[in-house]
Chain A
Amino acid sequence: MQNKQLRKWIPFLLFTGLLVGGPSLSGSPALAADPAPQAAPQNANAFTGKITGKSNKAKTISIEVQGKNEFLKFDDKTTGLEHAIEGEAAIVQFEMRGADRVATAVKPKLATLPEGVTEMKTDELASLIAKGPEEGNYVLVDSRPAARYHEGHIPTAISLPDTVHMATGDAYLPGDARMKKTTLIFYCGGFT
């Protein structure tokens, strides 16, 4: 266990060591000082955040950026409007036309997975579910708020909202999962 923990940190230590010890490196040393910024940096001509609404009649998209709601216009030339889905993360590129921000392109913001965690695709999940948690040796965890779980969840999933998970760690996982003997699969409301 101790070994494993250490091994996990070695690449990171090497990496920071290089940055600190190698001033000739082309990368900016300022980056090393803050390896995990809380929010994505906001480009002057793009917003990254959660879409909070879209109105076709007013041709307006609203997106939550660092806790603030921003409004943008869109028009027939705006591409990727199908990605402007309420509640989903997106990148909206725009240009200024007079005082108006006009969206030029909407792209889905793809989630980045923590190190050592891999994506599971639909087919693999479906074949595990067909076997069931015991034979498939998995625990499927629904990370959404409990109310969403109740109205409709993927078969065999248990409910463990991410807020509860963050506060309680493994306490609500079934025994085998707590003993770390099974595959843990998390899902939520899409690419967020």
Chain B
Amino acid sequence: MSPKSAGLAKKMGHTDVRVFLAGVPGWKKAGKSVVASEKFVQTGNIVLVDLRSKEEYEAGHIPKAHSIPLASLAAKEDSLPSKAPIVVYANSFVEAQQGYNLMKKWGVKTGSIWPGGVKSWAANGNKLATGPTPAAITWVRQLGKGEVSVAEFKKAMEGSSTQVILDVRTKDEVKECSFKNSLAIPLDEIEKRISELPKDKEMLIHCTTGARAEMAKNALDKAGIKSRFLLAEVECSQSKCEINE
């Protein structure tokens, strides 16, 4: 928390200490962009987009970048994965910001700019790649903290001696469809009924999107019960539960 840090700085004798209370959300809301670190561009699970011309891209680009010239970006909304952190660069910050703003409009949540383009990339001692852009943009989401993969979740549906599926949807939703081998407790009853959960097994929690499941996981964590949650769409189709990633 920034006020806490500011308080420490004041205590240590700094005279001019300020806090930008609006923080990153306020900065973005004001229509301003954020920048990625060099480490994030090098090692992050990102989609990197080069907004310069095709010729400039082929002559030298940051490795793993995809070429989408700024003028054609508007037509590429569907080829960019909406959940991926997208980092853009161009010849100038202004051009990069135009691309960034357009993606913000699409609802890209974690977009950022690599501010120096290829120049600062090379100046920092990084190599450039040459040649044509990869045929397609492929990006695979990495599991977040506390998540269970769809594959492992499906395995547990077949019956597992060490894991139990916990369904935290409402009673009405459960009536429509439910998974095999699952235990149903609505999210708002979890705390009251936590003693019903087996203590020696791992709970794999699901709802219809993952939002409630994650909230339930927090409650289980506090109670010392081991669990992970499923971040995927769960839908009822002809009285059967189906998972869509």
Please, what's the 1-or-0 string for A141-172, where 1 marks a CB less than 8 Å from any CB in chain B? 10110001111111100011010011001100
Chain A residues with a Cβ under 8 A of chain B: 1, 4, 52-55, 57-58, 60, 62, 64, 67-69, 71, 73, 100, 110-122, 125-126, 140-141, 143-144, 148-155, 159-160, 162, 165-166, 169-170, 177, 180, 182-192
Task: Decide if B225 is an interface residue (CB 8 Å cutoff).
Answer: no
Residue in chain A with minimal CB distance to B43: A150
Do B112 and A180 touch across chains, with their CB atoms under 8 A apart? no
Complex Cα gap A58–B172 (Å)? 11
Residue in chain B with minimal CB distance to A114: B7
Which of B51-59, B75-83, B117-125, B211-219 interfaces with chain A?
B211-219
Chain B residues with a Cβ under 8 A of chain A: 1-10, 12-27, 30, 32-37, 39-40, 44, 85, 110-112, 115, 168-170, 173, 186-188, 190-191, 207-209, 211-212, 214-215, 218-219, 222
Complex Cα gap A27–B85 (Å)? 53
Do B15 and A187 touch across chains, with their CB atoms under 8 A apart? no
Main secondary structure of the interface of A (DSSP, over half): mixed
> Mind listing 18 A-B residue pairs with CB under 8 Å?
A53-B215, A57-B169, A57-B209, A62-B215, A68-B222, A113-B19, A114-B6, A117-B3, A118-B18, A120-B18, A143-B1, A150-B36, A154-B34, A155-B115, A170-B12, A184-B14, A187-B19, A188-B24
Do B208 and A152 touch across chains, with their CB atoms under 8 A apart? no
Do B110 and A151 touch across chains, with their CB atoms under 8 A apart? yes
Residue in chain B with minimal CB distance to A156: B35
Given contacts A58-B169, A180-B13, contact A186 B30 (CB under 8 A): no
Do A186 and B12 touch across chains, with their CB atoms under 8 A apart? no
CB distance from A173 to the nearest CB of B (A): 9
Contacting residues, chain A, for B222 (C-beta < 8 A): 67-69
Contacting residues, chain B, for A53 (C-beta < 8 A): 211-212, 214-215, 218
Beyond A57-B212, A126-B32, A187-B2, list 15 extra A-B contacts (CB 8 Å).
A4-B13, A62-B219, A67-B222, A111-B3, A113-B3, A118-B18, A119-B19, A120-B19, A152-B36, A166-B5, A170-B9, A182-B16, A183-B18, A190-B22, A190-B23
Complex Cα gap A192–B4 (Å)? 10
Interface centre among B8, B110, B215 (most CB of A within 10 A): B215
Do B17 and A151 touch across chains, with their CB atoms under 8 A apart? no
Do B6 and A184 touch across chains, with their CB atoms under 8 A apart? yes
Do B36 and A151 touch across chains, with their CB atoms under 8 A apart? yes
Contacting residues, chain B, for A119 (C-beta < 8 A): 18-21
Do B1 and A60 touch across chains, with their CB atoms under 8 A apart? no
Given contacts A57-B212, A151-B85, contact A169 B8 (CB under 8 A): yes
The answer, among A58, A141, A170, for a CB contact under 8 Å with B187, is A58
Contacting residues, chain A, for B187 (C-beta < 8 A): 55, 58, 60, 71
Complex Cα gap A26–B82 (Å)? 59
The answer, among B23, B168, B211, for a CB contact under 8 Å with A187, is B23
Given contacts A58-B187, A60-B188, A154-B34, contact A113 B26 (CB under 8 A): no
CB distance from A29 to the nearest CB of B (A): 26
Residue in chain B with minimal CB distance to A126: B32
Contacting residues, chain B, for A60 (C-beta < 8 A): 187-188, 212, 215
Pairs of residues from A and B, 10 with the lowest C-beta to C-beta distance, nearest first: A114-B7, A152-B34, A53-B215, A152-B112, A186-B2, A187-B20, A150-B40, A188-B2, A190-B23, A120-B18
